[in-house]
Amino acid sequence: MLIIPAIDLIDGKCVRLDQGKADKKTVYSNNPSDIAENFSFAGAKRLHVVDLDGAFKGSPENIKALSAIRKNFKGIIEFGGGIRTFGDIEKILSAGADRIILGTMAYKSHDFVKECINKYGDIFIVGIDAKNGYVAVKGWVETTKIKAVDLACDMEFLGIKKIIFTDIARDGMLKGPNIESLKKMLKSVSIKIISSGGISKIDDIRKIAELKHPAVEGIIIGKALYTGAIDINEVIKCWQNE
């Protein structure tokens, strides 16, 4: 199971937000590329990078930071935040991302998702962020009337092979993952799922691992790595390299 560290970007800095709220921001580093290098040295094979400026404004804003991160991280970089057009995708790929995360556009336009797959192939991951079971978009500031599991089923039908499932209520709060909502998602689709949100300690990782579900590809960890609540070297050794 992949241990996937997260880097969230605002103004080129590495930050974390509580429940995605821009007014609850903590800056952890002015040099995200240094953070990425540390994760690479620890053995992380994949890095989750989110352009929060892009998510809020509707177009990627941290391309320069992505380029710097690419130079320091050896593994696969998945990048999301504000991706609305093919032009956005081209810029992100040129800056070094290996995988593109579609969020708001996956909800807004199934045709766009199909065109993306036809044009670029199997490089897309759909990020499904849930608030009380319903999809949240535009940097989590807007909750839709679409159930997260329904959107996941639609994406699987369109040909998406992988989703990132985030429980917003748990993200950045260090309260542990919502295991029941993850189980519900796992029952709804057969594609790969990366679990995100709320990981606060090693026991949280263990709870997900104990599901022993083949569709769980990995776990994204954010704030707990920056506060020191989780040591990335330890969890990679115990879970990724078990």
190 contacts 167 by C-beta, under 8 angstroms: no
Helix or strand (DSSP H, E) at 177: none
Using DSSP, state whether 152 is helix, strand or coil.
helix
187 phi and psi angles, rounded to 5 deg: -75, -20
- Cα separation, 121 vs 98, in Å, equals 12
- The structure tokens 């935040």 sit at 81
Q: Which residues are catalytic?
A: 8, 129
Q: Which of 162, 234, 229, 227 is nearest to 196 (CA)?
A: 162
59 contacts 88 by C-beta, under 8 angstroms: yes
- Cα separation, 183 vs 179, in Å, equals 6
178 contacts 133 by C-beta, under 8 angstroms: no
Q: Which of 140, 176, 102, 136 is nearest to 24 (CA)?
A: 140
Beta strands 13-18 and 21-29 are: antiparallel
User: In residues, how long is the chain?
Assistant: 242
